[in-house]
A and B are shown apart, each in its own frame.
Chain A
Amino acid sequence: MSPLRRFLLTPEAIAGAIILLALFAMALSASLFFPGDPQAIAGPALLPPFQHWSLPLGTDRLGRDVQAELFHGARTSLAVGLAAAAAALAVGAIVGTLAGFAGGVVDEVLMRVTDAFQTVPSFLLALAFVSIVGPSLGVVVAAIALGAWTGPARVARAEVLSIRERDFVAGARVIGMHPLEIAFREVLPNALPPVLALSSVIVAAAILTEAALSFLGLGDPNRVTWGGMIAEGRAVLRTAPFLSIIPGIALVLTVLGVYLAGEGVVETTAVRRSLS
């Protein structure tokens, strides 16, 4: 059976995949269906959903199209979530590999740094970083990655500690390979699977953190974000709750979709590994 078929056998994975596909479709089609500025006035203010065919999700306090904002917000959520997770995984894998492979003082120092980052709550870290450097998309990505790389670093180090004892690493030393080449070309690729298994949780957490930063007004001001939409809606929560509920649902579904699809992938590869 192909991995894809097996992946699609679990209902959770199917649900996750559908949600993710919808999300990607939204993000990719945002500027096709809603060209121009999603923050421009599109109609009367506070139009409720399902009242007007051209504004199916209604408008916010300033008369901006909620559906357009939702689509463009999907873009920000996905971009920030994926970029922050990729950065966290890359930094974690490199730090963990260096620590585990070098051992001794290098390991000691790198792991103390990892401990330090881990003891600070990652949201506070992101908050402090964005407050100091100033909000922009790149800074938000870096701020989120700053609190997320320690998990991958620990997992990578543990994996490297066992891989470095294997014969093929001794073999690489015997043929005179440079230690850095051994670490990054021989050891790291073999240590990746358990590190990558963390990615769904990290992407989901990154999307939530981005939303929380935007909710607090620390997102990129030039972009529509779901967190920002929820914050906007808070002022009229009693009269127009849909303004907060719609992006809230999108956020919950996205995080759920990422998590379910990620679990499906891990399960499929775990099954394949235990079969072989």
Chain B
Amino acid sequence: MSRPLLAVSGLTKRYRRGDKTIAAVDDVSFDIRPGETLALAGPSGSGKSTIARLVLRLIEPDAGRIEFEGGDFLALNGAALRARRARLQMVFQDPLAAFNPRATVARVLDDPLRIHDVASRRERPRGIAALLERVGLSADLAGRAIHEISGGQRQRIAIARAIATKPSLIVLDEAVSALDVSVRRQILQLLLDLQREERIAFLFISHDLGVISAIAHRIVILDAGRVAESGDARAVIGAPQSAIGKALVAAAPKLNRTSTQGTADRQ
């Protein structure tokens, strides 16, 4: 077994609600290996987004460790943290909210190339065109405003921005949940292609086991901030042990069809 790319252990985040504190994330541990997709599943409010934000250092944990690419990720600060962010990217659920409402496609893709010195000022327009092509979009889109393009196109732009700095891990928080079925299938296919070609690992967050079974190798199921069960995605979804796992499987109507199709895709 290769070394984990991301190793999370004992991760805990508490919030005050009124006069008592609740643990949004409570002693959660998991690993992600290079090039692997780990799904984080669980009902709404189970702590999935909080884990995503902790892993990305958008918020700080109350306890726990996060090791990324063999180093203590929580020890990084300032410029060192910003530099390391090139390797750990994110795709949000709502692709409209994820971008500055005034931005153009070109600016959104230019930012990571500029900030991390991926390409010189003169080379960047070509870099932007290459990224657009990489995610299946026309280079003509560069001049358009973010609010002018479709939701599916926007999510492709979000993926293009995430891969611009050649990350080893992308956190996707409900990244396909807001898309309609046909667009969702295309985006999932794009993610699978990227993973195969560039060996990017995904922390794939979803409440939808159908989608998860189409893309994930392993799964962690959360219940009220704690890990309810975890293991091989197919095994867990096929025969869930925890109460919450059973409830999620029961709530996913077309699961069997999608899951066989999904696992066929994976092989």
Contacts and interface: CB of A to CB of B under 8 A. Distances in A.
A70 to B, nearest CB: 42
A273 interface: no
B30 interface: no
A66 B98 CA distance: 59
A10 B18 CA distance: 48
Give the interface size class of chain A.
Answer: 10 to 19
Interface in A159-194: 166-168, 170-178, 186, 189-190
B97 A174 contact: no
A200 B94 CA distance: 36
B87 to A, nearest CB: 10
B100 A190 contact: yes
Given A167-B94, A167-B97, A174 B58 contact: yes
A237 to B, nearest CB: 54
A176 B100 contact: no
B101 A177 contact: no
A178 to B, nearest CB: 7
B102 interface: yes
Contact of B56 (A168, A174, A186, A190): A174
B161 interface: yes
Interface string B76-107: 00000011011011101010011111100000
A168 B97 contact: yes
B165 interface: yes
A170 B53 CA distance: 9
Q: Which residue among A168, A175, A178, A189 has the maximum number of chain B CB atoms within 10 Å of its CB?
A: A175
Given A166-B97, A167-B97, A175 B165 contact: yes
Interface residues of B, number: 24
A189 B107 CA distance: 15
A175 B101 contact: no
A19 B112 CA distance: 49
B116 interface: yes
Q: Which residue among B88, B111, B161 has the maximum number of chain A CB atoms within 10 Å of its CB?
A: B111
Contacts of B86: 176
A168 B101 contact: yes
A171 B82 contact: no
SS class of chain A's interface: helix, strand, loop or mixed? helix
Contacts of B89: 174-175
A178 B82 contact: yes
B20 to A, nearest CB: 23
Nearest to A177: B115
Interface string B41-84: 00000000000010010100000000000000000000000110
Given A176-B112, A177-B111, A171 B102 contact: no
A106 to B, nearest CB: 16
A174 B85 contact: yes
Contact of A170 (B58, B88, B101, B112): B58
Q: Which residue among B100, B115, B161 has the maximum number of chain A CB atoms within 10 Å of its CB?
A: B100
B98 A186 contact: no
Given A166-B97, A167-B98, A168-B101, A174 B115 contact: no
A168 B111 CA distance: 13
Contacts of A168: 97-101
Contacts of B112: 175-176
Nearest to B56: A174
A171 B100 CA distance: 9
B82 A176 contact: yes
A184 to B, nearest CB: 12
Interface in B1-18: none
Contacts of B90: 170-171, 174
Q: Which residue among A168, A177, A178, A186 has the maximum number of chain B CB atoms within 10 Å of its CB?
A: A168
Given A176-B112, A190-B102, A171 B85 contact: no
Interface of B: 53, 56, 58, 82-83, 85-86, 88-90, 92, 94, 97-102, 111-112, 115-116, 161, 165
Given A166-B97, A172-B100, A178-B115, 11 more contacts: A168-B99, A170-B56, A170-B92, A171-B90, A174-B58, A174-B90, A175-B112, A175-B161, A175-B165, A176-B112, A189-B102
